[in-house]
Amino acid sequence: MGYQRRQTENPANRFEALKVEYEPGLERPQGLKVYRENAKSILSRNDSPDLPFKWSVNPYRGCAHACAYCYARPYHEYLGFGAGTDFDTQIIAKGNAPVLLRRELSKAGWAGDPVAFSGVTDCYQPVESSLQLTRSCLEVCADLGNAAGVITKSPLVLRDIDVLQHISRRGGGNVVLSIPIGDGEMARKIEPFVASPDQRFAAMEKVAKAGLRVGLSIGPVIPGLTDSHIPKLLERAAKAGASFAFYTLLRLPGSVKDVFLARLRGVLPDQAGKVEHHLRSMRAGELYQTEFGQRMRGQGPMADFIEALFLQTATRLGLAPGERRMELPQALGDHSERKRPSGPEKIQMDLFG
């Protein structure tokens, strides 16, 4: 059974007093809509020790890739939208993102920290092919010699290899391809509007051949469903020219739980119960934990098995130089032309290693 998106299917919005439900056949048409937003700021500061970056740029809200597991879905509720099909189809584009980014990176107090594209939704989702907000923001980083790292599921990143090469020469940085599912048919059911795993690995190989440092993100690992894919994914990444890899465990905060479990029960009904059982076994009986460290890894025998499987395979393939999946103690290198403040050297983790 493939994924069939209903016209309107959203969990209840926690910020709305009323929930609208449509009679079958009378749902609101749910075509893709793009709204322009004049944002007040574009740099988002991350204070979580679980994530390998301090600053991120998110040119878009919502994501047409429609991945069932996307942890960013609850953010759409702040905008008055739903976390289900609204998140997939009602896209907010920050039209002034490049102007804001140039202004913020040019401030006298800016320390020249690396910038991640993106910390929330995919910066290379389909609408980027026409709006080119991500490319324009990357051009700002290239002009100013500021390090930047990209994480995406889209081969569209190949369009911007020229800019990324310039950033790599001047400021440093790399590209991460997110490929959490090795089976193409399964991927189509869970992340329905994303390029196939084969296409993403082909893009990884082209990025590596262009001389850019490229890595693999296995995020998220879905216990009981995709943990067995880890060795093959790492082997394909190594063959494609990746130099590092990391993983994260499935996270189901807020309304993501409803979207993910509904999708899984619809497209993989025989696997849904096993996935939920394993996830609860790794989350102290819950489906999500908010504690730093635990939310990205989980705990217990299943969590230990997944981490050991990843580390043993990644180490054998030369993709895991750190002791754990999110640790990569390599600086950006001496090739940066931009002068950074003196003082203790900061460890740059996977996204910018």
pTM: 0.85
> How far does Cα 17 stand from its chain's mean position?
31
Q: What b-and-e string marks burial along 121-139, b requiring 16 or more CB atoms within 10 Å of the CB? A: bbbbbbbbeebbbbbbbbb
> Three-state SS across 261-288?
HHHHHHHCHHHHHHHHHHHHHHCCCCCC
Number of domains in the chain: 1
| Six token digits for residue 68 | 């069932």
**Six token digits for residue 235:** 């082997």
Round to whole Å and give the CA distance between 330 and 35. 40
- Confirm whether 248 is domain-assigned: yes
**Which residue in the block uniquely carries the two structure tokens 């009981």?**
224
Instruction: For residue 84, tell me if it sits in a domain.
Output: yes
Is residue 293 one of the residues assigned to a domain?
A: yes
Tell me, yes or no, whether 2 lies in a domain.
no
**What's the rounded Cα separation, in Å, for the pair 227 and 234?**
12
Report the CATH number at residue 226: 3.20.20.70
Task: Evaluate whether residue 105 is within a structural domain.
Answer: yes
1 lies in some domain:
no
Structure tokens, 216: 């693999």
Contact status, residue 175 vs residue 244, Cβ threshold 8 Å: no
Rounded Cα distance between 144 and 138, Å, is 10
Under 8 Å between Cβ of 319 and 244: yes
Residue 218 forms part of a structural domain? yes
**One-letter amino acid identity for 82?**
G
How many angstroms separate the CA atoms of 138 and 132, rounded? Answer: 10
Strand partners, 175: 150, 214
Q: How far apart are the first and last CA of the chain?
A: 41
Residuewise pLDDT in 10s, the chain (353 residues): 566 655 656 666 655 545 545 445 444 546 789 999 999 999 988 776 556 678 999 999 999 999 999 999 999 987 889 989 999 999 999 999 999 999 999 999 999 999 999 888 999 999 999 999 999 999 999 999 999 999 999 999 999 999 999 999 988 889 999 999 999 999 999 999 999 999 999 999 999 999 999 999 999 999 999 999 999 999 999 999 999 999 999 999 989 999 999 999 999 999 999 999 999 999 988 888 776 666 678 899 999 999 999 999 999 999 975 433 333 323 333 333 333 333 333 323 355 54
Task: Domain of residue 305: give its range.
Answer: 33-339+346-352
Identify the pLDDT of residue 318.
95
Tally DSSP H helices, then E strands, for the chain: 12, 10
Answer whether residue 13 is part of any domain. Answer: no
